């Protein structure tokens, strides 16, 4: 069986062609061009799928599509996405349209959810029964494996740990979702940037402050570079990030009792500066049972969205 994984992003679409042994046979990247319009965009994806169908004719083909945003995985509809550069795509029936163009019904799910399956199959080799994956970037998302199966919830939105609350005070920072006090408002890149700017106002002569003032655009890497040079302000920003993240993870683990937590996404690249504090928060929990043997891991593999989409489609087809 051949699996095609399509990882849709705001700037690029990535394609992964895989076999059932988890080997990547082909990898492609295509720019997400606003000028071709939503239908032209899906026709391009369909044309890639049809090309693979011809190349592997005679073999069964399974297709998985990961899309950012709010996805109805049952019906294959992208309910809402603010980051794709197309007009009028609310309630976009991705699965129906791609099926019309390719004659294959794709499995469509949230991208972080399918990346979770990629991490579970390809990196963890299905070790562990219950796994929480936390994606750390501009947004903070995630996915869940419960009882060795991908758990998407009643509406396809399970794993949205970024919008669980870690601060209920009226002055808690505002999140992109419109609520206050979400985990994402503390450990997403916008939340980290806010704390960096506050620290610069308080300590304008720190190494971090000087680095940020020299650069045109703020980048999270600056906080890591300053931390690398021993800047106490930068180290404190990462330590606080680790603390907030630990608080969010502890809440999820208390609710779900998972055996493994995997951190992934761009910000997880700075794990060496914040992971020990995250682990400290977990070690300090008074109800220790779910934390005692829980593994906290980091995966920096950027292929997991597409790999997970391909492998999940194969897995579902072989189960039939
Ligand atoms: Zn939020």
Q: What is the pLDDT of residue 279?
A: 98
| Cα 9 to ligand 1 centre (Å) | 20
Q: What is the pLDDT of residue 132?
A: 98
| Cα 104 to ligand 1 centre (Å) | 35
Fold assignment, 127-298: Nucleotidyltransferase; domain 5 (3.30.420)
Residue 45 has pLDDT above 80, yes or no: yes
| Cα 220 to ligand 1 centre (Å) | 20
Q: What is the pLDDT of residue 83?
A: 78
CATH 3.30.420.40 domain extents, the chain: 2-117+303-319, 127-298
Distance CA(73)–CA(66), nearest Å, equals 10
Measured from the Cβ of residue 17, the count of other Cβ atoms closer than 10 Å reads: 23
Q: What is the largest CA-CA distance in the chain?
A: 66
| Cα 179 to ligand 1 centre (Å) | 5
Distance CA(162)–CA(202), nearest Å, equals 28
Q: Identify the CATH class of 2-117+303-319.
A: alpha beta
| Cα 4 to ligand 1 centre (Å) | 32
CB 212 within 8 A of CB 196: yes
| Cα 218 to ligand 1 centre (Å) | 22
Q: What is the pLDDT of residue 25?
A: 97
Q: What is the pLDDT of residue 217?
A: 86
CB 300 within 8 A of CB 137: no
Residue 130 has pLDDT above 90, yes or no: yes
CB 266 within 8 A of CB 305: no
Q: What is the pLDDT of residue 190?
A: 95
Spell out which residues have Cβ within 5 A of ligand 1, the ion: 163, 175, 177, 179, 182
Q: What is the pLDDT of residue 82?
A: 77
| Cα 134 to ligand 1 centre (Å) | 15
| Cα 242 to ligand 1 centre (Å) | 18
């Amino acid at each position: 069986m051949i699996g095609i994984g399509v990882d849709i992003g705001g700037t690029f679409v990535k394609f992964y062609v895989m076999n059932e042994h988890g080997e990547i046979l082909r990898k492609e990247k295509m720019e997400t061009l606003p000028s071709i319009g939503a239908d032209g965009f899906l026709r391009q994806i369909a044309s890639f799928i049809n090309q693979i169908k011809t190349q592997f004719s005679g073999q069964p083909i399974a297709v998985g599509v990961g899309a950012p945003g709010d996805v109805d995985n049952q019906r294959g509809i992208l309910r809402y996405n603010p980051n794709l550069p197309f007009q009028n795509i609310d309630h976009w029936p991705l699965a129906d349209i791609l099926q019309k163009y390719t004659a294959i019904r794709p499995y469509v799910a949230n991208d972080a959810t399918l990346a979770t399956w990629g991490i579970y199959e390809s990196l963890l080799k299905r070790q562990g029964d219950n796994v929480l994956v936390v994606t750390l970037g501009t947004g903070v998302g995630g996915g869940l494996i419960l009882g060795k199966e991908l758990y998407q919830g009643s509406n396809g939105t399970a794993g949205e740990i970024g919008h669980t609350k870690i601060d209920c005070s009226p002055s808690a920072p505002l999140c992109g979702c419109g609520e206050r006090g979400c985990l994402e408002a503390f450990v997403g890149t916008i939340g980290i940037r806010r704390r960096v700017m506050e620290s610069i106002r308080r300590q304008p002569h720190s190494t971090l402050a000087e680095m940020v003032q020299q650069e045109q655009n703020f980048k999270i890497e600056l906080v890591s570079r300053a931390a690398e040079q021993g800047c106490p302000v930068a180290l404190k920003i990462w330590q606080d990030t680790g603390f907030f993240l630990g608080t969010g993870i502890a809440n999820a683990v208390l609710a779900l009792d998972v055996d493994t937590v995997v951190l992934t996404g761009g910000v997880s690249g700075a794990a060496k500066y914040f992971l020990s504090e995250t682990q400290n928060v977990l070690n300090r929990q008074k109800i220790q049972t779910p934390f005692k043997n829980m593994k906290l891991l980091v995966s920096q593999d950027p292929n997991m969205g597409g790999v997970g989409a391909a492998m999940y489609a194969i897995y579902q087809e072989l189960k039939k």
